[in-house]
A and B are shown apart, each in its own frame.
Chain A
Amino acid sequence: MAQAIAVEDLRKSYGDVQAVNGVSFDVKQGEIFGMVGPNGAGKTTTIECIEGLREADRGGVRVLDLDPQRDGYELRERIGVQLQETALADRIKVREAMDLFSSFYRRSVEWGPIIEQLGLGEKREAYYGKLSGGQKQRLFIALALVNDPEIVFLDELTTGLDPQARRAMWQLVQTIRQRGKTVFLTTHYMEEAERLCDRVAIIDHGKIVALDSPQQLIDSLGVDNRVVFTVEGSLELGLLQDLPAATRVERSGDRVVVYGRADGLVGAVVNALEDAGVHFADLRTEQPSLEDVFLALTGREMRE
C-alpha cells in the first residue's frame, strides 16, 4: 500500500524542552494510525508538524508527497484537521460554520449528509456556544470532513467525553476509514488505541518506544494474562505456582493474582482450587492490554 505520511527523524524543541526527539514512522494509505502516550509526550507537536502548523527544527516530513511547510496550502486542501485547543465564535450557528468552512476549500462536498451522520442534523440552527462538549467535538469532525479529505487528523478526539460519547466517536472513526480515508489520531487512552488502531506508535518523552499493531505489541512483550480472585483464609500458593500454565502468583490480603499463558490458565487455576477445596470468589481473567505494554516499556503507568 502507498504511504500517506512519511516522517523521518523529526525533532522539535521549545526553549530547553525537547518536545519531539527524533521520531520516524510511516503511515499507510487507508489505515488508522494511532500515536499514544501520556500528556506532554510529544504527540500534539508531532501531529502539528505533520499538518504544517508547526515547523520542525530538523527532520523530513512528507504528507501525500507534499512538504507541509513549503506546500502547506496545497496540503491543507487535501487533509482534514481536528485540533485539540480550538473553538468557534459562540454565536455562530452550526449551519453557518459548515457553510463558512466549505468556502475555504477549492473542492468541498455537500455538508448536509455529514452533519446528519454525525447526529447534528437537528442542531443546524443551534449556536456553537449552546452545544454540549460532545456536540462541539462532532462539529469539529464535521468541519474536518467538508473537503472530503484524504487524511483525517484527530488530536485527542475523545478527551473530556463521557464513555458513551467516546464509544460513539469510535464508531465514527471506523466509518471514516470505511470510506477509504487514512486516519491519524493521537490519544492518551490506551483502550482507545487498542480498539481503533491498525497500528500504534507508543511515544514517551519525545521518542517512539514501540510501533506495531496493538495485538503484536501485546504479544511481543510476552505480557501475561492474569487470573484474579479472592479467597478467605489460607491458601497454599505453591499449589498454583506449580501449575504449568502459571508463571507467577501474588497475594495481597484476600486478593490473589495468577500470571500465566493464555491457554488453559483459567481452567487449570479453577481445577487446582476445587481439587484443594479452597473457597474462592470474584474470579475473573484480565487480558493484557496496551496499558501493560506501556508499563513494561517505560516502567510507569499511564496517568490521565
Chain B
Amino acid sequence: MSDAPAGRVFRRSAMRSLWKMTLTEMKLYLREPIAAFFTLVFPVMLLLIFGSIYGNEPEELFGGRGTVDMSVPAYMAMIIGTVGMLSTSINVATSRELGILRRYRATPLRPWVVLVSTVVVNFLMTFLGTALLIAVAKPLYGLRFEGDALGVLVGFVLSALSFFSLGFVIAGLAPTARVAQVAGMLIFYPMLFLSGAGMPKEIMPEGVRAVANYLPLTHVVDLLQGMWFGEPWADHLTEVVVLAAVLVVGSAVAARVFRWE
C-alpha cells in the first residue's frame, strides 16, 4: 500500500476479537426482548406464582423440603433447556439465514471465536437467570441450600454445555431459522413438563416418570437437585454419564452439521 491511511492504525490479536464478539453478542441477547424475557424474567415469574400459591413450608412429599426449595434447582434446569434448545438454536440459525455468519467468514475471524463467544454468552445468560432466581427466592421464601456451591456449579456447567451442544445440533440440521424455532419448541416444551423442570416430578404417575427418565432434561433436574441438597456424586453417576455423553455426541454432530450459510 503506497498511501498512508488517514488516522491511527491499530494492531490487535485474536483475544481482542473474542472479547469484542462476546460483548457484542451479550448486548444483542439483552436487546432481544423475547429471549431475555424467557431467560431472565419468566423463571422468576413462575417462582413468584407458585411460591405465592404453595409457599415454602417443609412437605413430606419433598422429603421435608418446601416447594420453592425443589423449584429453584428445577427452574435452573428450565433455564438451561430454554437457552440451549431455544436461544442457541434460533440465534445460530438466524445468524446463518440472514448472512451474518457469511459476513464474518469474509474476514480473518477464526470460526472458534464465533463458537466460543456464543457459548460464553449463553452460559453467562443462563448463569444470570439462575442468579436472579436465587436472589429472589432467598429473601422472599427463605430458600434452603444444603449442598456445596462447587458441586452445583460443576453440575450446572456440565448440563449447560451439553444442552448448548444440542442447540447447535438443531441449528445445524434445521434448514431455516423458523424450522429451528419450531423444532426447538417441539422438543423442549414436552421435555420441560415431563422432566420435572417445569413442575415437580413427585406429583406425576409412575408411568410418566418412567418415560421421563429417557429425557436428558430429567437428568439435569435430578443432578442439580441432588447437588443442591448435598447428595454425594456417587448417587448421580447416571446423570453425569448421560449428560457427558450428550455433550460429546452433541458436539461431534454439531461440528459435522454446522454450516456458515
Contact = CB atoms under 8 A, between A and B. Distances in A.
Contacts of A104: 17, 104, 107-109
A143 B1 CA distance: 19
Interface of A: 51, 53, 73-74, 76-77, 81, 83, 85-89, 91-92, 96, 99-110, 112-113, 140, 143, 148, 150, 179-181
B207 interface: no
Given A83-B106, A103-B12, 4 more contacts: A89-B98, A91-B27, A109-B5, A179-B5
A148 B11 CA distance: 12
Contacts of B21: 100, 103
**Interface SS of chain B:** mixed
Contacts of B110: 73
B32 A91 contact: yes
Interface in B101-129: 102-110
Nearest to B12: A103
B191 to A, nearest CB: 28
B6 A83 contact: no
Given A99-B20, A110-B8, A105 B108 contact: yes
A92 B102 contact: no
A143 B5 CA distance: 15
Contact of A180 (B1, B12, B16): B1
Given A91-B28, A109-B7, A113-B7, A83 B99 contact: yes
B142 to A, nearest CB: 39
A77 B1 contact: no
A73 B113 CA distance: 14
Contact of A89 (B20, B28, B107): B28
A106 B15 CA distance: 11
Given A96-B24, A104-B17, A107-B9, A83 B103 contact: yes
Interface of B: 1-3, 5-13, 16-17, 19-21, 24, 27-28, 31-32, 95, 98-100, 102-110
Contacts of A140: 103
A130 B8 CA distance: 30
20 contacts: A73-B108, A74-B108, A77-B108, A81-B106, A81-B107, A85-B99, A87-B100, A87-B103, A89-B28, A92-B24, A101-B107, A103-B16, A103-B20, A103-B21, A107-B12, A108-B10, A110-B7, A143-B103, A150-B1, A180-B2
B174 to A, nearest CB: 18
Given A89-B100, A100-B21, A180-B1, A107 B107 contact: no
B99 A87 contact: yes
B154 to A, nearest CB: 32
Nearest to B102: A86
B98 A87 contact: yes
B30 to A, nearest CB: 9
B3 A180 contact: yes
Contacts of B1: 148, 150, 180-181
Contacts of B105: 53
B99 A106 contact: no
Given A51-B106, A88-B100, A180-B1, A100 B8 contact: no
A22 to B, nearest CB: 25
Contacts of A107: 9-12
Nearest to A101: B107
Contacts of B107: 76, 81, 101, 104-105
B12 to A, nearest CB: 6
B99 A100 contact: no
Among A77, A87, A181, residue most surrounded by chain B Cβ atoms (within 10 Å): A87
A108 B99 contact: no
A86 B10 contact: no
Given A76-B108, A180-B3, A106 B12 contact: yes
